[in-house]
Amino acid sequence: MKLSEAVRGVSGTLAADGEFSCIAFATEQEQSQFLTFLEKEKFLPALDNSKISCVLTTSALAEKIPPHIKGVFLCDRPKAALFEIHNRLARHPDYVGASAATVVGEGCSISPLAAIDCENVVIGDRVTIEPFVVIKGRVIIGNDVTIRSGAVIGCKGFSFSKDAQGQNVSVEDTARIIIEDHVEIFEQVAISTGIFPWEETRIGENTKVDAQCHIGHGAHIGRNCLLAEGSRCCGNSRVGDHVWVGVGAIVSNRVRVGDGARVSLGSVVTKEVPAGQTVSGNFAIDHQKFLSNLKKSLEE
């Protein structure tokens, strides 16, 4: 798509035209040529990415844009402009993909009290879906999956932009949710859809998600994980394979948790957890260090 076509109707000035295949934040490792935004100079190094072909930015930053970025659009509020473009494109099949009738595999047990969109859902073989489950469009479910009562697959992500008057504007969700084989999703779990078409939310093979957990938009949960009751994996978080997330624990937005790590109950994880490490506390630190600090505080 040409930048000149995408910004039609957006307040600003086209400084140079270019082409892009998708929209993404500058920090993403997208493989296609993409459109992004730059609003603050401190993020200028993020534009050193050969896949960024077009950018929305301010007049004050225009001369600092790297030469490999061909398309430049100048506006007062680049981030809001990016989401304005995204929201408009979200209505077009060329951007989000064509619709297709929902497909259900063989040997499935689906309650008549479940609500499943009639388009853009693929359900594998031997899937069990209990009463009052809601499955919205752009969801792919593998084989031998169980989804228990009250779970919602395809929740609206909690993503908002600000308009010129400072009012909250909802950002459209256009991505897929992929639930791999042998996953079990317990009661009242909520799994949110990602913003951009490529930003899939994924639950890895043989992972079990306990009641009242929330999986944020664009989050990836690895294989053979156990997410205990009420835990939260926030938007775009990355949880590796064989990870334990304890009762009520929170993995914050865009945080990575390495393979085999353990997040103790009630922990709030705000920075990367290395593979195999156990963390505890709010904010979470190495478990042994947490116990040592606790012991010292009790001795005072």
Tokens at residue 293, please? Answer: 């600090």
Tokens at residue 180, please? Answer: 């791999």
Name the H helices within the chain.
3-6, 78-89, 93-96, 287-299
> Of these residues, 182, 217, 220, 242, which one is catalytic?
217
The string over 55-74, giving b where at least 16 C-beta atoms fall within 10 Å of a residue's C-beta and e elsewhere, is bbbbeebbeebeeebbbbbb
Helix, strand or coil for residue 7?
coil
User: Residue by residue, what is the 3-state secondary structure of 102-140?
Assistant: CEECCCCEECCCCEECCECEEECCCCEECCCCEECCCEE
Identify whether the C-beta of residue 18 lies closer than 8 Å to the C-beta of residue 1: no
Catalytic site residue 86? Answer: no
Cα-Cα end-to-end distance for the chain: 65
Indicate which residues carry an active-site annotation. 217
